[in-house]
Amino acid sequence: MKILSGLAVGALGLGSLVLAATFILPWAGGYGYAATFFYAYDYACPGKSAPLTQDNYRVFLLNRGCSLDDAAQDLAREYRKTPERVMALYRGEAQPQSADEVMITDAIRAELKQSFKPFALAANCKPGEICNEGLSPFWGDDVVSRLFAKAGDLYLGYAVPMFYDGLGMGAHHIAAVLASGPLAKGVLFVVYAIGAAFLLNFVWGLLRKAIS
């Protein structure tokens, strides 16, 4: 009886951990992405005079250029507005003058905060949203497949915004740390180098076990 109770408690604990990880991983993935790609920003945007700010770094992570100004230039062509108008609408420094501008303002803010530029799954997909049927096309038409498709779509509806929230928080923290001076950048480099060494050692150990 004690063995069964122990197994039940263990299974419950394991299930709780898996469930918690399922809901935390999207946010952690976004944060980890932001926390590890600032050296890529230096490499892809050499000679930039503008400092690494939260906005500049976030639009870079979303593949929208090296700065908020670059992203505004791109969106200005898309929405037929001046870059200055795009920036004013994004920052709330100007009020939309029409219903069309209200929609454009919402779209601009979504694209600069919650949308990867090259990964739109459909032309009519709104920025930051799941396009069309989400995971549904990957499943069949039977009852069980539709159930899994629905569950997958519900999870993506939760996971995608959480990923972008984590990305935004990571961009904010990295920009704040790097603004404190070059010493912080050096410390981060050392931390990442140690982490990469541990990861490579772990992967190499797994490969050796698989080969032997």
| Averaged confidence pLDDT in the chain | 73
Where does the pLDDT of residue 133 fall: very low under 50, low under 70, confident under 90, or very high at 90 and above?
Answer: very low
Per-residue pLDDT at 26 exceeds 50: yes
User: pTM of the entire structure?
Assistant: 0.66
User: What Rg value do the Cα atoms of the chain yield, rounded?
Assistant: 22
Query: pLDDT value at position 50?
Result: 57
Query: pLDDT value at position 3?
Result: 62
Exposure b/e, 45-62, CB count within 10 A at least 16 = b: beeeeeebbbbbbbbbbb
